[in-house]
Amino acid sequence: MGRLIAMTLAYLAYLLPTAIGGQKQQHRVQHGPCSYTFILPEVDNCRPSKDYQFTDAPQRDSPPEAENDAGQSKQRQDQRERPSWQERKLESLESAMENNTQWLQKLENFIQENVRSGMEEIKRSAVHTQTAAMLEMGTNLLSRSAEQTRKLTDVETQVLNQTSRLEIQLLEYSLFTNRLEKHILLQTQEISRLSDKNSFLEQRLLALEARYGKELQSLQSEKEQLQHLLERQGQLVGQLQGELGSSTLNSTLIQSQQAMLTDTVQKLLTKVNHCNEVSSIPKKEPHHFRDCAEILRSGVKESGVYSIRLHNSTRDVEVFCDMKIQGGGWTVLQHRRNGSVDFHRGWKEYKMGFGEPSGEHWLGNEIIHKLTSSQEYSLHVQLKDREGNEAYSHYDRFYIDGEESNYSLHAEGFSGTAGRTSSLTHTGSQFSTKDRDNDSCTCKCAQLASGGWWFEACGPSNLNGIYYPASSNVVRYNGIKWYYWKGPNTMATMTTMMVRPANF
Ligand SMILES: *[C@@H]1O[C@H](CO)[C@@H](O)[C@H](O)[C@H]1NC(C)=O
Ligand SMILES: *[C@@H]1O[C@H](CO)[C@@H](O)[C@H](O)[C@H]1NC(C)=O
Ligand SMILES: *[C@@H]1O[C@H](CO)[C@@H](O)[C@H](O)[C@H]1NC(C)=O
Ligand SMILES: *[C@@H]1O[C@H](CO)[C@@H](O)[C@H](O)[C@H]1NC(C)=O
Ligand SMILES: *[C@@H]1O[C@H](CO)[C@@H](O)[C@H](O)[C@H]1NC(C)=O
Ligand SMILES: *[C@@H]1O[C@H](CO)[C@@H](O)[C@H](O)[C@H]1NC(C)=O
Ligand SMILES: CC(=O)N[C@H]1CO[C@H](CO)[C@@H](O)[C@@H]1O
């Protein structure tokens, strides 16, 4: 190999100086697949000089060629002068050329052979080693790549797992968020509702406060006024007390004066009486009647309101006289007919009487007592039901005690059509009103049954109960009652209690 390179170099060195010249002639030689180009120096421009020498190194390695070459150039110069020599020279040159060519061919062959074998060897070994290495590397790479792919797939699955988990979590979170949002919405709605309510309540509270404030103010002002009044009252009371003191002093004086006055009045009265007796004796006829029987006896036949004067009394009393029933002459004590008068009244009113004698009324316990205790009287109770059926209860002897005995009832000698048994309670029953309970019941009959009556243990009668115009099937404990006439259900629509002297 080294030899080959040396040979090549030598040849190149032999060729090179000719190529460096100015004008060159190219010669191409085709040899098989290889082509060689030779560049020959141009003879025209070459002037041979005496000191023309070859000083180059390759010249030393191959002096014959150099001499030959130099001679060649010399021969070319002399070609014009000596053509025979030139021809010879050319032949030698051609042979040299041939020689060279052969040499080159050899060289080339050698080179080619060498190169081919070397190359093949090199190639083979290289290929072997390389393929092995490559294979190894390949397997290595394959295994590595397989590992990597495995790792990658692992990572991928993990990533996928994570992603799916994250997605699930995300989903859950979104669901949760949704729920929370809904909840929050509800809460906000609730809050808004509550705030609405709250504001409403606050408004109401404010309104109430304002109202209470106003009321408080008015109350305070009222209180102040009352205090003021109280002070004034106190002053007044003081004044009155003072006046009372002086008036008590004066009263004795006044009494003596009154005595004097009554004395003079008495005197005057006797004088007047005397005058009357003297002036008109017949005028005394329509004097005071003690009751309706006297009025009837006096010739009056019409029922109506008349004045009577009770025994030992100076006061006239208006009464209704019934001149029809059973001969007339009845002084009416009680009468009901349409419920226009309220009979649920207190002790004092029953004592003094109420209503008009022409309509519904109660004559008054005091008058009844005075009337019935002045002489013997009989009692007649006249009743009428809704259908207009009339009935009566009669008592031969009737009177009531005074207030000190609570107007105790005395009724005897019962007869009549309104029940076989007396509906009026036993003798001795005291009178009771809503404000003065004196019945034998632990209850208060006057309040239960209403009105004022001689309730025993509330008893079977009460003509002063509440007036129910249309009787119903409902049992009324506080209605007008005359139990033994028609039982508890039928109430009278008209009642009259009246007295007449027992010996009429
Ligand atoms: C060719 O070269 C060889 C050796 O180099 C020499 O022996 C032979 O004489 C040469 N042939 C001619 C024709 O120059
Ligand atoms: C995700 O990985 C966990 C363990 O890290 C495992 O329990 C679970 O089953 C995996 N899920 C899926 C969908 O692969
Ligand atoms: C007492 O009587 C006298 C005269 O009698 C009279 O002037 C005086 O006002 C009376 N006083 C009272 C408080 O009535
Ligand atoms: C009840 O009778 C009286 C007297 O007849 C009469 O003035 C009054 O208007 C009547 N009341 C009713 C409610 O019928
Ligand atoms: C009337 O008065 C006299 C004496 O003042 C008395 O004795 C008599 O009982 C009185 N009569 C009546 C009914 O009050
Ligand atoms: C009359 O009634 C009152 C109370 O209602 C009572 O205190 C008094 O004792 C009664 N009188 C008689 C005599 O029972
Ligand atoms: C409370 C009351 O005064 N009761 C009297 C009612 O009358 C009877 C007699 O009928 C007396 O005995 C009670 O004391």
Residue 61 pLDDT? 45
Averaged pLDDT for residues 257-263: 90
Give CA angle at 35 (34, 38), nearest 5°: 140
Averaged pLDDT for residues 244-263: 87
Residue 67 pLDDT? 47
Closest C-alpha residue for ligand 4 atom 14: 338
Averaged pLDDT for residues 267-286: 65
Residue 107 pLDDT? 79
Closest C-alpha residue for ligand 2 atom 3: 161
Report the nearest atom of ligand 7 relative to the CA of 428.
10
Task: Tell me which residue of 489, 493, 485, 486 sits closest to 477, measured CA to CA.
Answer: 489
CA dist., res. 329 & res. 501, Å (int): 9
Averaged pLDDT for residues 439-448: 81
Nearest bound ligand to the CA of residue 405: 6
Residue 486 pLDDT? 82
**pLDDT score of 189 more than 90:** yes
CA dist., res. 319 & res. 97, Å (int): 198
Report the nearest atom of ligand 1 relative to the CA of 99.
1
Averaged pLDDT for residues 269-288: 64
Q: Ligand 4: does its nearest atom lie under 6 Å from the Cβ of 305?
A: no
Residue 418 vs residue 274, higher pLDDT? 418
Residue 354 vs residue 150, higher pLDDT? 354
Question: What are the tens digits of pLDDT across the range 100-116?
Answer: 788 878 878 887 888 78
Residue 410 pLDDT? 94
Closest C-alpha residue for ligand 6 atom 11: 405
Task: Tell me which residue of 96, 128, 105 sits closest to 36, measured CA to CA.
Answer: 105
Report the nearest atom of ligand 5 relative to the CA of 310.
13
**pLDDT score of 262 more than 50:** yes
Q: Ligand 1: does its nearest atom lie under 6 Å from the Cβ of 95?
A: yes
Residue 478 vs residue 50, higher pLDDT? 478
**pLDDT score of 304 more than 90:** yes
CA dist., res. 439 & res. 368, Å (int): 20
Question: What are the tens digits of pLDDT across the range 381-427?
Answer: 999 988 888 999 999 999 999 999 999 999 999 999 998 888 888 78
Residue 491 pLDDT? 76
Residue 22 pLDDT? 44
For the chain, how many residues are written?
504
Report the nearest atom of ligand 6 relative to the CA of 405.
13
Question: What are the tens digits of pLDDT across the range 354-393?
Answer: 999 999 999 999 999 999 999 999 999 999 988 888 999 9
State percent of the chain over pLDDT 90.
38
Ligand 5 midpoint to CA 312 (Å):
6
The type of residue at 316 is D
Report the nearest atom of ligand 3 relative to the CA of 243.
13
Question: What are the tens digits of pLDDT across the range 444-467?
Answer: 887 888 889 998 888 888 899 888
Ligand 6 midpoint to CA 317 (Å):
28
Residues with CB under 6 A from ligand 2: 161, 164
- Residue 11: phi, psi to the nearest 5? -65, -40
Closest C-alpha residue for ligand 4 atom 5: 359
Q: Ligand 4: does its nearest atom lie under 6 Å from the Cβ of 356?
A: no
Question: What are the tens digits of pLDDT across the range 315-367?
Answer: 899 999 999 999 999 999 999 998 899 999 999 999 999 999 999 999 999 99
Closest C-alpha residue for ligand 2 atom 13: 161
Q: Ligand 1: does its nearest atom lie under 6 Å from the Cβ of 102?
A: no
**pLDDT score of 287 more than 80:** no
**pLDDT score of 4 more than 70:** no
How high is the mean pLDDT of the chain? Answer: 82
Residue 250 pLDDT? 84
3-state SS assignment for residue 310: coil
Lowest mean pLDDT among 153-157, 325-329, 485-489: 485-489
CA 308 from centre of chain: 77
Residue 285 pLDDT? 43
Give burial (CB, 10 Å; 0-12/13-18/19+) of 115: middle
Ligand 6 midpoint to CA 440 (Å):
12
Closest C-alpha residue for ligand 2 atom 14: 161
Q: What is the pTM of this model?
A: 0.47
Report the nearest atom of ligand 2 relative to the CA of 157.
14
Whether the Cβ atoms of residue 484 and residue 421 lie closer than 8 Å to each other: yes
Classified by CATH at the fold level, domain 292-501 comes out as: Gamma Fibrinogen; Chain A, domain 1 (3.90.215)
- The residue extents of the domains of the chain are 108-252, 292-501
Question: What are the tens digits of pLDDT across the range 57-87?
Answer: 444 444 444 445 555 555 555 545 556 777 8
Ligand 3 midpoint to CA 261 (Å):
18
